[in-house]
A and B are shown apart, each in its own frame.
Chain A
Amino acid sequence: MKRIEAVNDFVVKFANVNGSGSASANELFAKSFLRMGIPVSPRNIFPSNIQGLPTWYEVRVTEKGYLGRRGGVDLMVQMNAQTWDQDLKEIEPGGYLFYDNTKPLPKSKFRDDVHAIGMPLTEICNASYTDARERQLMKNIIYVGALAGMMGLEPEAIAELIGEQYKGKDKLLKPNLNALQMGLNYAREHLKDALGLKARRANAVGDRIFVDGNSAAALGCVYGGATVCAWYPITPSSSLAEAFAAYCRRLRTDKDTGRAKYAILQAEDELASIGIVVGAGWNGARAFTATSGPGISLMTEFIGLAYFAEIPVTIIDVQRGGPSTGMPTRTQQSDVLACAYASHGDTKHVLLFPEDPYECFEFSALALDLADRLQTPVFVMTDLDIGMNQRLSRPFAWDDSRRYDRGKVMTAEDLEAGREFARYLDVDGDGIPWRTLPGTHPTRGAYFPRGTSRNPYAVYSEAGPDYVYNMQRLLKKHEFAKTLVPKPVLTPARAPARFGAIYYGSTSPAMHEALDLLADRGIYVNALRVRAFPFQDEIRDFVRSHHKVFVVEQNRDAQLKTLLVNEAGIEAASLVPVLHYDGTPITARFITREIAEAVARLNVRPLVRREEKAA
């Protein structure tokens, strides 16, 4: 029988029962590789159900640092009888099934082309522990120990991690270390050479950090100076607001008084959460909300008001799939159009597309600046894949000389000095008017904002020319935003390329791997990562300088492509959509296959690899 043999390059998937305490053991497993200098990319796959139901954790071990989902499973750690049959199918031929063989299982439960590795986990636990919960929890650590033994993970690295986790909690530290050792011993004695997947110390992690995008975005909001957060629980965004609360307690509690330099409200719904953010933004506090697609739907009326009344608002949309519950706890990039044009009337909004936790941090802080500068809603478009999975990412960076851009706010001194205040007049030529905050001056600068029915002086007006002036100014402001939002990032192919690819957000790691795989096949593609809307001219120029450009996204309707055609003056015919939308994160294998097939269809002979020619 074939046997998959691999060093530092394989996929392990854990099938667990939700609520069994497996999450921290699995994370321990993933982190042990990092301590050995080997990059990993884990992903949670969990249905919306809370208790007693299946959950999976997939760890891609990748010395090359490909952090996208690979697809396929080399080792299945099967700890949930309910999903046995389905899990068994997923294993690659020649792969491995690690399972609890306390109770014998019929032959029909196995596959001829998969190596079964049994270990009597329940028996060992029952013999060592009496408490039911302890049996459950220690079982997880024991299997981590066994896996470590089989793979050659350094026990010191794992012990170090356990030590950090239970620092100061000796009561827990010891039993965990013992359990780990039990697993290690068992593997050494009984499972020698059972597994062809090995870990070998490398030096490929560097100074990178391991963090989920929601925590990163939350921290970005702390650094970016957000003081008001209003939210309504919705997966996959809830952990962002919760992380903001945790960071604020730590970093924003006044040392002398113990009082909070922030306000967080769990509102009654998303209408209220966005309303609170709008009110705070109007009143000069940096405010944000975190939500997902259904929340965006509920917020749209307010988003329009904020656009027209010109209120700074930051919205972090952790995208998921579609409405209702179930599938929605899977990942997608399917709110692009909903956010770009959210609300009634003619509206267009600024969108930022972070690719990883580093940019979640960066763009969340930036969004707060942009919202103040542009006096408009700004969306940070992340998704479940980045938001709820820990990802290796560049360390967060902050320049202490950086100052918040509070935008055009007239002060009491300005007003006192007789500076003219016209709330909706374009005085600087960038379409952005000046604003005053409530309570600034006893007699100057007050105004009564409402939707659009007003002239540049904020006086009620239903006159056509006033409306048109305002709409044109808003357009100018949107145009000006191009100069402020992050520029696209080009990854040139190793050889001249007729094809281009545009991608964004969480597709990034899979795309980079796909570019390598394609190049290996002689298909060269220049890749442009779009980081924001409105689109800069570079994006249009990129498309024009290629025969065809693939637009790779994780939704059904090619939403970014639609936006490119609508807003960047790009011919639809020059764009070829590559779409992945089954709720799982996009993979390099998928992108490679789609692009390779499309290239073949487009009837173009792949360029011969330059290196090959040279050789």
Chain B
Amino acid sequence: MTYLAKPKLHHPSLQKNRLGYTRRDYEGKVSTLCAGCGHDSISAALIQAFWELAIEPHRVAKLSGIGCSSKTPDYFLGNSHGFNSVHGRMPSVLTGAALANRDLIYLGVSGDGDSASIGLGQFAHAMRRGVNMTYILENNGVYGLTKGQFSATADQGSKSKRGAVNTDSPVDAVSLALIMGATFVARSFSGDKRQLVPLVKAAIAHPGAAFIDVISPCVAFNNHPGSTKSYDYVREHNEAVNRLDFWPSREAITVDYDEGDTVEVVQHDGSVLRLRKLEPDYDPTDRIAALARVARAAEKGEVLTGLIYLKPDAEDLHAHLNTVETPLNRLAESDLCPGAAVLERINAALR
């Protein structure tokens, strides 16, 4: 089920975006993941989203931890700097990078083992701090890279390929992100590009911690009957709360809507999110309600997808720290070094 197109020669679309870039300009190396791996589909969605947003690829920094999922930044945005860091610690590396240069767009890619097992703490704290990033959790319920052990997002009662049953209760990354203060929380499915691409675009535009839990089946180790992260299971149990259309600005809107069944949210940067309601009463700006709805879905074994929560007036870490507009990595001696005369005064005060 991969739609990451390769090889490049047969690329279906050479259409150019506003900057004159084709989708190819947003591709990376040829994937080495298993054919059909959900992660490849997410890479394709990321390529599509960045291309549609016409973001210069080199203005993006893509960071990851360790895992099959964390390898994927090599397979998209080949002209972006990336960092394959250590297992479970992408959030801290990304936080430091974001502090160093507030002008880039930060994309964090992680797996469920990476974010919910070894890296649960860093995931939670990055959400708390409101690091301005798009955090993509490629969630397959297993450790793909180490060959199929359960991860902490595996549902209680789900069966491994070898028949073992998981008895631990799962970490629900969406609920955790909500509790921790993420200001944009969504869930999607690697097999639903139509849903995923606009969510990614809105997340990128979001000026704060944006988290998307993407269920992304592992065809090698977790796509069998009895798994709750298989293609079949997710398709059967997918409950979308809404459908999103994303527009970078009001002027860019090209589609008319029936007012009745849509909600519109405008973010700080002027981008417009149009949500077609699939559940009439669902209000994605109500965090408490969102938490309750997610919990109810989990109870029923539903895979609740869509834009689950958005805080339109979100702030990010740089706002909290009141840092200067100029990226810290561009400040020079004249900005940073108080100089010898001041040092002499400091010396005098220490006598």
Residues of A bordering B, CB below 8 Å: 34, 207-211, 219, 222-223, 225, 227-228, 230, 251-252, 254, 257-265, 267-269, 271-285, 287, 301-302, 305, 309, 395-400, 403-404, 436-443, 446-451, 460
Contacts and interface: CB of A to CB of B under 8 A. Distances in A.
Nearest to B338: A251
A252 B342 CA distance: 12
Nearest to A263: B99
Interface in B287-302: none
B64 to A, nearest CB: 9
A283 B59 CA distance: 12
B96 A275 contact: yes
Contact of B84 (A207, A227, A230, A448): A448
A439 B61 contact: yes
A272 B59 contact: no
A398 B343 contact: yes
Interface string B270-281: 000000000000
B121 interface: yes
B89 interface: yes
A272 B336 CA distance: 25
Contacts of B346: 219, 396
A227 B100 contact: yes
A448 B99 contact: no
Given A275-B92, A278-B85, A440-B58, A260 B322 contact: yes
B79 A442 contact: yes
Nearest to A401: B340
A277 B336 contact: no
A551 B129 CA distance: 47
Interface in B91-148: 91-101, 103-104, 121-122, 125, 129
A261 B329 contact: no
Contacts of A301: 86, 89
A351 B208 CA distance: 38
Given A287-B100, A305-B86, A254 B350 contact: no
Interface residues on B, range: 35 or more
Contact of B333 (A251, A268, A403): A403
B86 A302 contact: yes
A74 to B, nearest CB: 26
Given A271-B92, A272-B122, A305-B85, A209 B337 contact: no
Interface in B306-351: 318, 321-325, 328-329, 331, 333, 335-340, 342-344, 346-347, 350-351
A397 B343 contact: yes
Contacts of A274: 92
5 contacts: A262-B323, A275-B93, A279-B93, A280-B96, A301-B89
A282 B57 CA distance: 18
B322 A279 contact: no
Given A275-B89, A446-B82, 7 more contacts: A225-B336, A272-B91, A279-B95, A302-B89, A396-B346, A438-B97, A441-B58
Nearest to A439: B104
B81 A436 contact: yes
B250 to A, nearest CB: 28
Contacts of A442: 56-58, 79
A276 B343 contact: no
A558 to B, nearest CB: 32
Contact of B96 (A283, A400, A437): A283
Contacts of B84: 448-451
Contacts of B338: 222-223, 251-252
Contacts of A228: 96, 99-100, 328
A403 to B, nearest CB: 6
Contacts of B336: 222, 225, 227, 252, 261
Given A223-B343, A398-B339, A448 B122 contact: no
Given A269-B121, A396-B343, A260 B321 contact: yes
A209 B347 contact: yes
Contacts of A223: 337-338, 343
A276 B95 contact: yes
A404 B332 CA distance: 9
Q: Which of A254, A271, A285, A451 has the most chain B CB atoms closer than 10 A to its own CB? A: A285
A409 B26 CA distance: 25
B83 interface: yes
B276 to A, nearest CB: 36
A373 to B, nearest CB: 16
Contacts of A460: 74
Contacts of A225: 331, 333, 336-337
B73 interface: yes
A556 to B, nearest CB: 31
A279 to B, nearest CB: 3
B94 A257 contact: no
A292 to B, nearest CB: 19
A357 to B, nearest CB: 9
A268 B92 CA distance: 10
B162 to A, nearest CB: 28
Nearest to A437: B329
Nearest to B344: A395
Contact of A263 (B56, B122, B328): B328
B333 to A, nearest CB: 6
The 5 lowest CB-CB distance pairs between A and B, nearest first, are A275-B92, A279-B96, A285-B100, A438-B81, A276-B96
